[in-house]
Amino acid sequence: MAEKMATRQAYGEVLVELGAKRKDLVVMDADLSKSTMTANFGKTYPERFFNMGIAEQNMYGAAAGLAASGKVVVASTFAMFAAGRAFEIIRNSICYPKLNVKICATHAGITVGEDGASHQAVEDISLMRSIPGMTVLNPSDGTSARKAVEAAVEMDGPCYVRLGRAAVPVIYPEDMQYQIGKGILLRDGKDVTIVATGIMVNEALKAAEALKEKGVSARVIDIHTIKPIDREILIRAAKETGGIVTAEEHSVIGGLGSAVAEVLCQEAPVKMRMVGLKDTFGESGKPDQLMEKYEITWENIRQACLSLLSLLK
């Protein structure tokens, strides 16, 4: 059985390592440090850690002030409260002046599970990628989460990193090559392309394996950077395979599927299918049960591919 790790756990671990390398790194949290995994940074570097309480707007406003004074600020809370409650502060106080604040938001998507709809952010990618100048990263496993956080801290300017609660299979080796804005070809194929992000990358790989048993050759691409998106890898896939299925743990409105369609309708129009939440809130339940109910499993990806292929014949 493959090793599993929550992307939020990898985030907590790499933060401590980055703290040793960068004395200008400051971490902030909205009274959720045990859940967001920033607590260890706080214990190791207490003089550079600030628990701002349940006051997300205030936290991001203070983060902007620290960044304006020369610090690199990583500020965490749940995705629902970062992208939702603090949207205006992130837009006007961080992105408009192009400040060096990294919004590392955990507990994104419906795999938050039992916390229910109020805590399941399925609109955050849409909200964050719509802000001018915001970079949006959505790692798929523990390894890519480490690389994403490292890259976010090293880049100049605002960045949103989407992290999850549940443990997911580790896909990548520790020495993976990671570059903001460059998708990763995980599996080549000629019949159809599955473009996935976040935890849906593992589901895409399982779907591709199931399709192989049916004689279908499926390409799998990990789009870990939603913005700026890798136009080149998407256009090539559209031209070479003729059909695209996107997969995301997010609403199909404004998320990965929308971002891919925006590129391809201009450069290489092809038929598409989108696997994601269909204009609905989530609910309380086990992550696996929720993925099944809201039709974002590997089987749903497989079915979407077969449906698309029937139109391409």
Could you tell me the two tokens for 205? 């790989």
User: Can you say whether the dihedral through the CA atoms of 292, 298, 300, 303 is positive or negative?
Assistant: negative
Q: Does 17 qualify as catalytic in the annotation?
A: no
Active-site residue (options: 3, 13, 56, 88): 56
Could you tell me the two tokens for 236? 């090539």
Closest by CA position to 10, among listed 164, 196, 158: 164
Cβ 256 vs Cβ 250: under 8 Å: yes
Give the 3-state secondary structure of 251-276.
ECCCCHHHHHHHHHHHHCCCEEEEEE
Please report how many Cα atoms fall inside a 13 Å half-sphere around the Cα of residue 124, on the Cβ side: 36
* Strand ranges (E), 92-175: 101-106, 135-137, 159-162, 167-169
Cβ 66 vs Cβ 41: under 8 Å: no
The whole-angstrom separation of Cα 177 and Cα 198 is 17
CA angle 135–141–144, rounded 5-degree value: 50
Residues identified as active-site: 56
